[in-house]
Amino acid sequence: MDIFDNVFNAEGVVIVGAGLAGLFCALKLSPRPVTVLSPMPLGSGASSAWAQGGVAAAVGKGDSAHAHALDTEMAGAGIVDHGVAESVTAEAAARIDDLSSWGTPFDRDALGEFILSREAAHSANRVVRVSGDRAGHAIMQAIIAKVRATPSIRVVEGITAVDLAHADGRIIGVFGRKLGDRYVEPVFIRARATVLAAGGLGGLYAVTTNPPSVRGHAMGMAARAGAVIADPEFVQFHPTAILTGRDPAPLATEALRGEGATLINESGERFMLDIHPDAELAPRDIVARANFRQIKAGHSVFLDTRAALGARIMDAYPTVAEYCRVAGIDPVNDPIPVTPAAHYHMGGVKVDEDGRSSLPGLWVCGEASCTGLHGANRLASNSLLEAIVYGARIAEDISGLEPVRSVLPPFEGIGWDAEIGAKAEDVLRNLRAVKDVRAVMSDDVGVERDEAGLRRALQRLLELEETAIEVTRAYLNMTTSATLVAAAALKRTESRGGHFRTDYPQTSAAWQTHTEMTLAEARAIRAGA
């Protein structure tokens, strides 16, 4: 007999997270029974919907999956898993076909061929896009419609997973909190297979392009359950978040620089020319650090689209144009003020080629996972590709476990309430404890790091865990993920990709390997800080 008052049976697979990775996996599992848990209405809380660039795939003439893999390895600063890069890029075309068949309106020319964009560190135009900068939104809208029409997929909105449930040496489901119930006993959702697809950790930083709910909860949950975490120190900062004071910060897509937009300071100096042969199209970590140093030196940084795009930006990049309009910026006549912002986590729960974690019964995909594809620095637009490839692989791996089943009934007593949801997010956003974590990470575990700052961050994170008044499981997931990032950054005494140490600015051959760390190991490092 269950010891919990509120027990729900997923009757098959439970997927935590309703971004691209989770929903793609659910569709690939059809017609097997799947329960998808989402804290918010589908499409409104996922980073995938905010992706502007598109999906990287070698589908253009003269391009190849091998060339795509080589670019991925080059951007990843020496620790991309070669076999993973080759296999993922080889699957890209098939996954693009899946998205197309489910209704994604990719940009095409008069002959029906994809119109492809080029982004930083790619050797060819290979980013499959929608309406210039609306790929994420369009893909998610198409997939959501398909999910809603699939009887075997039960979507449960208004519930946040806060813990993994385990028994007999395996994961058997999740504990979740219903919307607004922050201090009551969580519900238990039992499943034969659990897929964690709840996003990254950009929201642990004060300036981020990620939705407010993306604050390391997935990695924190898995780490607290004992999962091995890989490469947590590698955080990618996007160079060109639009400087508006909004939280999260709106993004100026990298495709703008692919079209010739330049980075300048308030004096009009195009500073990237002296930093890298590819100038504005250098790998993201290099551009982000260049922008960071300009700002640190007292300069302002701008993305200048005037010569490259002029008035065409309004129609070619409507999302960016709208962000600018709301902020009172005229991108046709004035450069766009920008700043680096936490954007993507290359690390996460370590998984194998089928998406299996170190915990039996738990699969992980999307930004919550670390597959070895991104290495130390993700190649632009490889994130959505990884999400759909591993979503499909996990579905294939799980499929043999689950029978085909009829329509699943809804969970009684759980659902989305817009008024309660708005209040809950407002409370979370303004909690002093949450603000404190975000300040610690931005101040000492950001674009540039050093030993003193990392030790200070670890000490402060421990103090926050021990003294915060409103400590919940969700908050512990945040501090757990933050601790893993800071501990791994302190341990890695070199600079590589998204991890830059001012006291160890060179890349070291001794560190040309992945980090693997458990929470116990991270806490031991924190205790010694």
**Is residue 440 very low, low, confident or very high in pLDDT (cuts 50, 70, 90)?**
very high
Question: Which pLDDT value is given to residue 3?
Answer: 44
**Is residue 1 very low, low, confident or very high in pLDDT (cuts 50, 70, 90)?**
very low
Per-residue exposure over 113-152, b if at least 16 CB sit within 10 Å of its own CB, e if not: ebebbbbbbbebbbbbbbbbbbbbbbbbbbbbebbeebeb
Question: Which pLDDT value is given to residue 81?
Answer: 98
Considering only CA atoms, which of 321, 340, 343, 346 is closest in space to residue 332? 321
Question: Which pLDDT value is given to residue 23?
Answer: 96
Segment 167-190 shows an average pLDDT of 83
Question: Which pLDDT value is given to residue 2?
Answer: 46
- pLDDT digit string (tens) for 213-262? 889 999 999 999 999 999 999 999 999 999 998 999 999 988 899 899 99
Q: Cα(28)–Cα(22) distance, rounded to whole angstroms?
A: 10
Question: Which pLDDT value is given to residue 131?
Answer: 78
Instruction: Say which residue the tokens 């489901």 belong to.
Output: 173
Measured between its terminal Cα atoms, the distance across the chain in Å is 45
**Is residue 177 very low, low, confident or very high in pLDDT (cuts 50, 70, 90)?**
confident
**Is residue 158 very low, low, confident or very high in pLDDT (cuts 50, 70, 90)?**
confident
**DSSP characters over 136-199:** HHHHHHHHHHHHHT-TTEEEEESEEEEEEEEETTEEEEEEEEETT-SSSPPEEEE-SEEEE---
Question: Which pLDDT value is given to residue 391?
Answer: 98
Lowest mean pLDDT among 154-168, 306-320, 428-442: 428-442
**Is residue 183 very low, low, confident or very high in pLDDT (cuts 50, 70, 90)?**
low
Question: Which pLDDT value is given to residue 178?
Answer: 81
Cα separations in angstroms, 347 against 106, 311, 337, 489, 516: 29, 39, 29, 12, 10
**H or E stretch covering 262:** strand 262-265
- pLDDT digit string (tens) for 247-301? 999 999 888 998 999 999 999 999 999 999 999 988 888 999 999 999 999 999 9
Question: Which pLDDT value is given to residue 424?
Answer: 54
Number of Cβ within 10 Å of residue 11's Cβ equals 17
Q: Who has greater pLDDT, 501 or 253?
A: 501
pLDDT > 90 fraction of the chain, expressed in percent and rounded: 75
**Is residue 512 very low, low, confident or very high in pLDDT (cuts 50, 70, 90)?**
very high
Number of Cβ within 10 Å of residue 57's Cβ equals 28
Chain mean pLDDT for the chain:
90
Per-residue exposure over 473-489, b if at least 16 CB sit within 10 Å of its own CB, e if not: bbbbbbbbbbbbbbbbb
SS3 content of the chain, % helix, strand, coil (to 5): 40, 20, 45
Segment 132-143 shows an average pLDDT of 82
Retrieve residue 124's tokens. 């060819």
Segment 109-125 shows an average pLDDT of 90
Question: Which pLDDT value is given to residue 117?
Answer: 87
Most confident of 53-62, 328-337, 375-384, 466-475: 328-337
Instruction: Say which residue the tokens 């000490």 belong to.
Output: 459
Are 26 and 208 in contact by the 8 Å Cβ rule? The answer is: no
Domains of the chain and any CATH numbers = 238-343 (3.90.700.10), 427-527 (1.20.58.100)
Active site includes 177? no
- pLDDT digit string (tens) for 14-41? 999 999 999 999 999 999 999 999 988 8
Segment 463-488 shows an average pLDDT of 88
- pLDDT digit string (tens) for 348-393? 999 999 999 999 999 999 999 999 999 999 998 999 999 999 999 9
Catalytic entry in 32, 95, 129, 284: 284
Instruction: Say which residue the tokens 């912002």 belong to.
Output: 341
Question: Which pLDDT value is given to residue 284?
Answer: 85
